[in-house]
Structure 1
Amino acid sequence: MNTLLSIDWDYFIKTDDSWIYSLIENNKNIVMMWYKRYFEAKRCGKNLEENFKLDKGLINSFYDLLNNIFHIKDNAKMYISDSHKLSYYITQRFKCTDVYSFDAHTDLGYGGLAALDFGVNCANWLGKLLKDRLIKKAHIILSPLSHESKDQFSEINSEFNVQYDSMDKLFNMPEISLIHIARSGTWTPPWLDDEFFKFINSFNRPYKICNYTHRKWTPNDLTLADIIYNLVS
């Protein structure tokens, strides 16, 4: 009876509506896209970095949960990845029966039940776990910064056992035997990666990194050729 605590870094990041769309998780979107967006914004007299704010208060609230509500086993395994879809394979491998997902997105699949006919990806991994009967129940804690709501997923909610919670409604949680933290670098900016690892280290336990690209954010060090390359890519 294993339970997975699955956390997406975008849970803690405030941004605007323009970023709520589907993107493919690849190196271009994880790294190069950020430079392209940055220089496009700069050309319009805007600073892209100001559009993404880390909510320190939300992180502190999560730390309170970590210390007072979560019951994490001493031998709990912890994994770090870029894509959140790794949670599907962790759940499958360790036969988890419940998943607690902290995320700015539900990851149930977008487009109703038909979205679960596709392979596992970052947008449907939790819905696929339910459809494939690998878990009995999904607990979704949507970020208060999220632009999504449970009403958008009524078709999937009516078909499977999905419970929507908030931080202040979490009580009597089962023991956590596995932890997965996803950066989701396509949606979270590289200039917050140092804060990402500060968050990881706050768990004070060893972890394994899987399929993760380390990024350095150095827009001021790029040559004119680099900038043009990123703009036209």
Structure 2
Amino acid sequence: MKCLLSIDWDYFIHTKKENWNSYLENDKNTVKLWYKRYIQSKAQGKDIKKFFLLSSEIIVFWNKVKEYFQFEKNTKILVSDSHALSYNIAKENNCNTVYLFDAHADLGYGGLSALDFEVNCANWLGQLLKDKIVKRAYIIYSPFTVEKPEYFKHMNSVYNIKYRRLKELGKGINVSVIHICRSGAWTPPWLDNRFYQFISASGIPYEIVNCPPRKWDTKNISFSDAIYYMMA
């Protein structure tokens, strides 16, 4: 059994602004829109950083994970912004099982018809199951998720999908490859340094595939910058 361990950075982030999320992953939503939100919040006398809280679980996560997962000698981490890359990673590494740590199931939203679209960050796991690239998926939801397994009743009846907590997994799960995504449309840029610290804390070699740096400098926003960002 070849296993993909896929981790979304939003697993660790509690947001009080769920409606700020976006399913579109582009420069507008991963960078510019965050500046727009900052400007809007400041105008209302609010600190945008207080809407996004980073879980202390990042400190102990790797130690806990290594109690249940075993990493092969050549196992490495692939880092990207979009979670959609997990589809290609699983396919290219002949993985038949996915373990997903995420605030979202990424099975596709709106029933099986969501899998009629191209692979994207919201349906990549459903696409892997539909295309029979993987046989089973284990979803370990973030404690901050607003989703419930019953939201995916139809998919759960068609595909081999299990919802588990980490402590409910069996031990000795062999991992072939790890994917960690930033999900910049969901996670704020001022936490990017913590994101890379989290990856380094794994002690596993990693390769950045497609995760462009995001500059976050709110002290030097000019009037023209503000207009530009507000048009996002």
Q: TM-score, normalised by structure 2?
A: 0.96
Q: Which amino acid aligns with 1:115?
A: A
Q: What SS does the corresponding residue of 2:125 show, helix, strand or coil? A: helix
Q: What SS does the corresponding residue of 2:78 show, helix, strand or coil? A: strand
> Which aligned pairs between 1:127-142 and structure 2 lie closer than 5 A?
127-142=126-141
1:124 CA displacement? 0.2
Distance 1:202 1:164, change over 3 A: same
What is the alpha-carbon distance in structure 2 between the residues aligned to residue 190 and residue 15 of structure 1?
Answer: 14
The answer for the alignment partner of 1:101 in structure 2 is: 100
What is the alpha-carbon distance in structure 2 between the residues aligned to residue 114 and residue 194 of structure 1?
Answer: 37
1:7 CA displacement? 0.1
The answer for the alignment partner of 1:121 in structure 2 is: 120
1:20 CA displacement? 6.5
Q: Which moved more, 1:13-22 or 1:87-96?
A: 13-22
Contact 1:110–1:124, Cα closer than 8 Å, also in 2 = yes
What is the aligned-residue identity percentage?
48
The answer for the alignment partner of 2:49 in structure 1 is: 49
The answer for the alignment partner of 1:37 in structure 2 is: 37
What is the alpha-carbon distance in structure 2 between the residues aligned to residue 87 and residue 54 of structure 1?
Answer: 23
Contact 1:19–1:187, Cα closer than 8 Å, also in 2 = no
The answer for the alignment partner of 1:14 in structure 2 is: 14
1:64 CA displacement? 2.8
Total equivalences in the alignment: 232
What is the alpha-carbon distance in structure 1 between the residues aligned to residue 16 and residue 128 of structure 2?
Answer: 29
What is the alpha-carbon distance in structure 2 between the residues aligned to residue 78 and residue 63 of structure 1?
Answer: 13
What is the alpha-carbon distance in structure 2 between the residues aligned to residue 20 and residue 108 of structure 1?
Answer: 20
What is the alpha-carbon distance in structure 2 between the residues aligned to residue 151 and residue 113 of structure 1?
Answer: 14
The answer for the alignment partner of 1:209 in structure 2 is: 208
What is the alpha-carbon distance in structure 2 between the residues aligned to residue 100 and residue 62 of structure 1?
Answer: 15
Contact 1:17–1:147, Cα closer than 8 Å, also in 2 = no
The answer for the alignment partner of 1:4 in structure 2 is: 4
What is the alpha-carbon distance in structure 1 between the residues aligned to residue 37 and residue 22 of structure 2?
Answer: 16
Gap runs ≥5 in structure 1? none
1:205 CA displacement? 2.2
1:21 CA displacement? 4.9
The answer for the alignment partner of 2:185 in structure 1 is: 186
1:135 CA displacement? 0.6
What is the alpha-carbon distance in structure 2 between the residues aligned to residue 21 and residue 191 of structure 1?
Answer: 16
What is the alpha-carbon distance in structure 1 between the residues aligned to residue 197 and residue 59 of structure 2?
Answer: 12
Note the alpha carbon deviations across 1:78-129, whole angstroms, 9 max, x for none. 2000000100000011110100000000000000000011110000000000
Q: Which amino acid aligns with 2:191?
A: L
1:22 CA displacement? 3.9
Contact 1:4–1:96, Cα closer than 8 Å, also in 2 = yes
What is the alpha-carbon distance in structure 2 between the residues aligned to residue 196 and residue 117 of structure 1?
Answer: 32
The answer for the alignment partner of 2:58 in structure 1 is: 59
Q: Which moved more, 1:223-232 or 1:11-20?
A: 11-20
The answer for the alignment partner of 1:232 in structure 2 is: 231
1:74 CA displacement? 1.7
Report the aligned-residue RMSD. 1.3
The answer for the alignment partner of 2:160 in structure 1 is: 161
1:228 CA displacement? 1.8
Name the structure with the higher helix share.
Answer: 1
Q: TM-score, normalised by structure 1?
A: 0.96
1:168 CA displacement? 1.9
Q: Which amino acid aligns with 2:225?
A: D
The answer for the alignment partner of 1:82 in structure 2 is: 81
1:18 CA displacement? 3.1
Q: What SS does the corresponding residue of 1:129 show, helix, strand or coil? A: helix
Note the alpha carbon deviations across 1:61-85, whole angstroms, 9 max, x for none. 4223233221111211220000001
